[in-house]
Structure 1
Amino acid sequence: MDEAMDIDSPRGVKRKADDESLVEEAGPRRIQALDQDVVNKIAAGEIIVAPVHALKELIENAVDAGSTSLEVLAKDGGLKLLQITDNGHGIDKDDMSILCERFTTSKLKKFEDLHSINTYGFRGEALASISHIAHLTVTTKTKASNCAWRAKYDGGKLAPAKPGQSADPKPTAGRNGTQITVEDLFYNVPTRRRAFRSPSDEYNKIIDMVGRYSIHCQGVAFSCKKHGDSGTSIAIQAAATTMDRIRQIHGSSVANELIEYAAADDRYGFSAKGWATNANYHIKKTTLLIFINNRAVESSNIKKAIEQTYSTFLPKNGHPFVYLSLEIDPQRVDVNVHPTKREVNFLNEDEIIQAICENIRDKLAAVDTSRTFMTQSLLPGTIGTSSTPQPGPSSSSAKTPTAKGKTPVRPYENNLIRTDSSMRKITSMFPTASKEGAFGMPDDMDTEPEYQLTDREPITCRLTSVRELRTAVRDDMHHGLTEIFASHTFVGIVDERRRLAAMQGGVKLYLVDYGRACLEYFYQVGLTDFGNFGTIKFQPALDLREVLSIAAEHEKATAADGELADDDDFNVEEVVEMVADQLIERREMLQEYFRLEISPAGELISVPLLCKGYTPPMAKLPQFLLRLGPHVDWTDEQGCFEGFLRELARFYVPEQLPSMPGNTEQLEAEDIPEELKVRRAHVRRAVEHVFFPAFKARLVATKSLMNGGVLELADLKGLYRVFERC
């Protein structure tokens, strides 16, 4: 009866280790050899972790084959298509049958050859691994062959292009070299394929890898593009120097601050060379390109040592850009320590790293000590007459640049540029009230807003459309006017109603329409900082439709000749609803690219912040949002970006302020709203201390700005006689 009452233990209860009856039932598990297909897939998963790893192996094979030109094409971040075309030696037809078998290579015959290996690849695993997890097609032609040969591979073996056909390579037209096409990567490993979150992230990794080898491989041309795009993301000519390659990949801000370094020591069998940024450049995260025996690798020890070296030269949390090419005696290097050859071990690592860092430190110190700082007395008439050098680091720069024994040529006084930041501005010459500054503004007014900083890393924009818009701005540059803005001295605001200011460039005086200059400047800021804008948040959030209604009703009320007065032609509610639906529908794109945040319920949460120290006129916000409807081409990527940035720049341009009374009596009699005083002070401060310094630093003056935006008032050289007795 008791035995009949026994029931099974509940599900989910762990089996005890000392349950001998169960152990005896199961018995020891037998050891079995894995199926060869499973072995190959496991090995492939160690070599090819992501599309960028497949690309790295293919680039190295192409360079090993003597290529001088590499073309990379990717689709869906390399997951759908990854193709690399080179002009190297090609592959002999007789070798194509074993091309994708594991451990087939032309670079290694016995294990001892690892001690003298100088090529990128050597184990013969790259193509084999790819063929087990993707559809692989190879088209190749040697110089001696009359035609090219194309073959497909599956699981390391030749495979027919179509069922029922022969698997042998087929003759085809082609040029010298090899084209390898990888399609549907990880198609038979669904778990690995689902792990990739964004094709754009994988494509950015591909761009980074191509950029690394583009900088290192001298004499090799590189191009990389996304499938379907007309332009290329990277285009490097074979004759480009290392400096030019860094400039094209990482920008002029890096290339302009580079110093060259080199180190070598026969005792440790190494030589190193490269380029690194000086103390004038720093970023939030170290950019380190390391090549050991021409192979791109990573080294945490080298990175830590270089960052420690720069810590004494850069501000806190500042990091450098460093490119390092390290050649080490192959007998001292073990490259066979990582499946992807990403890491290597070599002898005397500490001594080699120390030698490299000491050379970089010496170069940085030499650049730092070579700086000279010119000093000048602020008292008139004393320039060039003082015989006592100024104390401090500038005393060394007081030496005359002329050769010894020669009398320096004294320049004519009418060629001198009489500008100094401490001199009076135009505004100081206007009448002032007793308690207020010029134009009725409090002298001590400080309208600088408060900012909150975030740790968000800057996004590198690689969109072809944005790159083309930047190129269009550079092509439209007026070099002479750009130079004037880059070296100008701000004189003062002339007319706020017409938005005019004066500046001096060289010995000439110019009248500038700062409204047009700001329009061009903010458009260029939108292009250069694309995707990295700050935000101006509204607390509480604004009702988008109410804001649009303000602009729509104003447009209808001010329409010329009653063109929009008829309700049938211009219905405020319909216009507001149409524009609101457009913006809400595209809110994710607006948030990602422009930081214009709109909730699904139609609440305006934030607008882009383009410039610190200046708040755009919020009275123009309704018109800005309304114009996004008809003035932006939402169907074309480039047209959308250009239209939005143009409207954003128009929104940021300072508004025209009404003229103020011309004398003190009228000034005191006028009832000037306090809000207008505050806004006027903010705009005037921004023009002098924000806009014109920004023009000096980064404005690319266009030809359209030259036509009507800047007017030459006077040549100070010609007016010298008029003012020489003043």
Structure 2
Amino acid sequence: MEPEMDVDVQEPRGTKRPIDDEGPSHKPKKIRALDPDVVNKIAAGEIIVAPMHALKELIENAVDAGSTSLEILVKEGGLKLLQITDNGHGIDQDDLSILCERFTTSKLKEFEDLTSIATYGFRGEALASISHIAHLTVTTKTADSSCAWRAHYSDGILVPPKPGQSAAPKATAGRGGTQITVEDLFYNVPTRRRAFRSASEEYAKILDVVGRYAVHCSGVAFSCRKHGDAGVSISTAVASNTTDRIRQIHGSAVANELVEFNVKDEKLGFSSSGLATNANYHVKRTTILLFINHRSVESTAIKRAVEQTYSSFLPKGGHPFVYIDLEIEPHRLDVNVHPTKREVNFLNEDEIIEAICNNIRSKLAQVDSSRTFLTQTLLPSVQTLAPSNQDLETGPSAPKTPATSKKPYENNLVRTDSRVRKITSMLPPAMQMHQPTTTAGAETEPASQTVLDEGLHYETTDREPLKIALTSIKALRAAVRNSMHNSLTETIASHSYVGLVDEQRRIAAVQSGVKLYLIDYSMFCNELFYQIGLTDFGNFGTINLDPAPKLIDILRIAAEAEAETAQAQNNTNEEQQQIFVNAPEIIAKTLLERREMLSEYFSIHISDEGHLLTLPLLLKGYLPCLGKLPRFLLRLGPYIDWSSEQECFRTFLLELAAFYTPEQLPRPQSQQQDLGDSDTANQGDTGDAEDGYIQTRRAQMARMLEHVVFPALRARLVATTRLLRGVVEVADLKGLYRVFERC
């Protein structure tokens, strides 16, 4: 009998095998330092993700070198060949030996220099990373050199061009400047090289990068062509202005509809200029060329704000083209937050974005009259205004332009426009509160404007904004982002405010798309003010209290109210009553001991004598109910965890958000009488006086919700999963059509 053959049985794919042959061990594994070659390849994989990232680094280095002409040659989407030739200052021969070593740079000497970076590159990792994943050749000539020098690199060091030759740079013929040739990108990272689907797709991404810098870098000529092609894909001249460059790269359809905008704010330390398309141009996808301190970056917040700005000017589904050149004082900007420098962080982001969008909005409004379109009367009872001069010239018999596309089905139309009639204008006069009176042809200010601004006066201070880098605040912001609900956030970001439904239950109606929702605005406001507290931490405005009340007096008022409430519910004894008596002194002492922190981080200023001078202003135009102030201050004692920094900030901001949340208001007297509330109807003079105050607050709250709070929700809120409990869908247009089709 023949002996059985030994058969190697392969383990299933994905099975983890032990490192050694002794089998798995329960002992902790030894920590070892990675091989430098592995470290360098990991770093290279973070910085050079695709050929477009390698080209971006090379373009920035060339512009930093003072080049006025860049020639780019690409083969197979940059994977086979990526070559850039410039006419800049060149590289000294002595520096070629360390050119591709990591963290070798001429633009940064000390860590403090990061606060004043004015160049594109600064870390010295671009060429080093490329040399670890490609074959790199550098040919360079300086102005005082008699010849050019060519050097070959691999894994960050000089290597000979062929085996057996010297690795030292060799003299060669060449013109002034530098030519960098990158061949066989990702040759030693096969998994990443196989991930690229097509060379044409990668070449399109390269053209996008070149096009962005060609638009922005005035005084620099760009040309980019594919290897083997006679013509160039992109070509811009040195003397071309920005509009001409946009015309050459993005077409005349964009360039002919551009409007220029400029905005500057010395207090926020920024200036911005750019070009944006007007309302006559729109495409299916937003195109934003954003440069912050001349560095091409991406910003979801800016893109979202720009799209919201254009939503009032463009039809549904239309998107703009915008080029933004934003310059921020270097010490307010952190450029070292992303391996590819694709993102940056800067102070006062929300205020800067709002200023830019407001300027774009004003420019669009000025040219908005250039649009031409046909209109029809929406309601038979609405009288049209006198005909315009153009209508008189063309006459009523002017032929209409025939429709060129199929009319969309009615149940897919979104009928929301801030410029059309509000639904409240169709209600009976008794249900309208302080509606503005308008006359045809005259512009009037809403009457409720005086209710909102009465007694309020805003002043601008010279206080420099604080740069908050506390780990605790970053962790709290990250917690909000981690609990984000994407679809609800998009719904709130695209909603249109319909109206206030119930002030007592704090319910409002909003429309998003073709759906109508009822939302609990107390929950949404609470989350909004908490998030504002995190984003604006340490940089709040102030509400000055004049005359300044005594802190201990306010706390005693709150303690007495709490004691009366507890006594009415029979929930107190003598010991608890004594707690209410002693609580104001204890809390006042606690707040006085921490008044420096309260002043610096929360804009709550308390004088040496114990007077409350200011409160934080979270949202301009919104005034919280000062009747909630005593209870807010009283809760700063037992409900704040003063022992832990992160918990202290979290609990304090939660209490501040609760103080800012709109209060419950009783229903209007007419509604109470309709519901048979005889107690309210028989209140007498006292009830009339109280009702007068409540009516004023109701009118103020209605305007603040419509013009301040809900626009802030739309622009700033990151809706979290817990807010799903505060939203109810009550109708959608498609469902209503199904109902009416059955009738």
Give TM-score scaled by structure 1 length. Answer: 0.50
Hey, what's the Cα distance between the residues in 2 that align with 1:52 and 1:14?
Answer: 33
Distance in 2 (CA, whole Å) between partners of 1:14 and 1:57 is 37
Query: Where does 1:1-400 land on structure 2 (aligned, <5 Å)?
Result: 25=25, 27-369=27-369, 392=386, 394-395=388-389
Contact 1:89 1:176 in 2 (8 A): yes
Distance in 2 (alpha carbons) for counterparts of 1:205 and 1:341: 17
Cα distance in 1 for partners of 2:367, 2:15 equals: 71
- Contact 1:105 / 1:123 at 8 angstroms: preserved in 2? yes
Q: Match of 1:343, as an amino acid?
A: E
Measured in 2, the distance between the counterparts of 1:158 and 1:13 equals 40
- Cα deviation, residue 61, structure 1: 0.2
Find the residue that maps to 1:232 and give its secondary structure. Answer: coil
- Equivalents in 2 of 1:250, 1:295: separation in Å? 20
Map of 2:486 onto structure 1? none
Change (3 A) 1:244 1:164: same
Cα distance 1:81–1:262, how it changes in 2: closer, same or farther (>3 A)? same
| Kept after mapping to 1: 8 A contact 2:74/2:227 | yes
The 1:448–1:83 alpha-carbon spacing in structure 2 relative to 1, beyond 3 Å, is closer
Q: How does 1:595-614 map to 2 (within 5 A)?
A: none
Inter-CA distance 228–11: structure 2 relative to 1 (3 Å threshold): closer
Paired with 2:112 and 2:361, the residues of 1 have a C-alpha distance of 38
- Taking the aligned partners of 1:344 and 1:274, their CA distance within structure 2 comes to 19
Shift of 1:13: 14
Structure 2 letter corresponding to 1:238: V
Tell me how far apart the structure 1 counterparts of residues 194 and 13 of structure 2 sit (CA, whole Å).
33
Report deviation, 1:368. Answer: 1.2
CA shift for structure 1 position 29: 1.1
Q: Distance in 2 between matches of 1:333 and 1:447?
A: 51
Measure the CA separation in 2 of the matches of 1:13 and 1:161.
41
After superposition, give the CA deviation of every residue in 1:374-401 in whole Å (9 maximum; x if it has no partner). Answer: 99xxxxxxxxxxxxxx9547249989xx
Q: Distance in 2 between matches of 1:24 and 1:269?
A: 59
Q: Distance in 1 between matches of 2:184 and 2:13?
A: 43
Q: Distance in 2 between matches of 1:391 and 1:243?
A: 39
Q: Distance in 2 between matches of 1:136 and 1:15?
A: 38
The alpha carbon displacement at 1:262 in A equals: 0.8
Counterpart secondary structure, 2:388: helix
The Cα shift of 1:12 comes to 7.4
CA 1:72–1:156: 2 relative to 1, 3 Å:
same
SS at match of 1:322: strand
**Is the Cα–Cα contact under 8 Å of residues 261 and 360 in structure 2 kept in the other structure?**
yes
Cα deviation for residue 310 of structure 1 reads 0.1
Tell me if the contact between 2:279 and 2:371 (Cα under 8 Å) persists in the aligned partners: no
State whether residues 133 and 188 of structure 2, in contact with CA within 8 Å, keep that contact through their aligned partners in structure 1: yes
Aligned to 1:174, what secondary structure does the other structure show? coil
Q: 1:182 to 1:393 in 2, by over 3 A?
A: farther
Q: How does 1:443-454 map to 2 (within 5 A)?
A: none
Mapped to 1, the partners of 2:373 and 2:29 lie a distance apart of: 80
2:326 partner letter? L
2:40 partner letter: N
1:86–1:128 distance in 2 versus 1, CA, 3 Å: same
Asked if 1 retains the 8 angstrom alpha-carbon contact of 2:280 and 2:371, the reply is no
Number of residue pairs the alignment of both structures matches: 386
Residues in 1 aligned to 2:102 and 2:330: alpha-carbon distance in whole angstroms: 24
Partner of 1:379: none
Q: CA deviation at 1:450?
A: 7.6
- SS of 2:259's partner is strand
Amino acid at match of 1:287: T
SS where residue 38 of structure 2 aligns?
A: helix
Q: Which letter maps to 2:34?
A: L
Distance 2:191 2:372 in 1: 61
SS of 1:260's partner is strand
State the Cα deviation string for residues 261-308 of structure 1 (Å, max 9, x = none).
111100110000000000000000100110000000000000000000
Q: Distance in 2 between matches of 1:172 and 1:274?
A: 44
Using the size of structure 2 for normalisation, the TM-score is 0.49
Q: CA deviation at 1:28?
A: 2.1
Name the aligned partner's letter for residue 349 of structure 2.
E
Structure 1 residues 11 and 172 mapped into 2: Cα distance closer, same or farther (>3 Å)? closer
Secondary structure, counterpart of 1:118 in structure 2 = coil
**Within 5 A, what are the aligned runs for 1:644-663?**
none
Aligned sequence identity (%): 71
User: In the aligned structure 2, how far is the partner of 1:195 from the partner of 1:346?
Assistant: 34
Q: List aligned pairs for 1:527-546, cutoff 5 A.
A: none
Aligned-partner SS, 1:44: helix
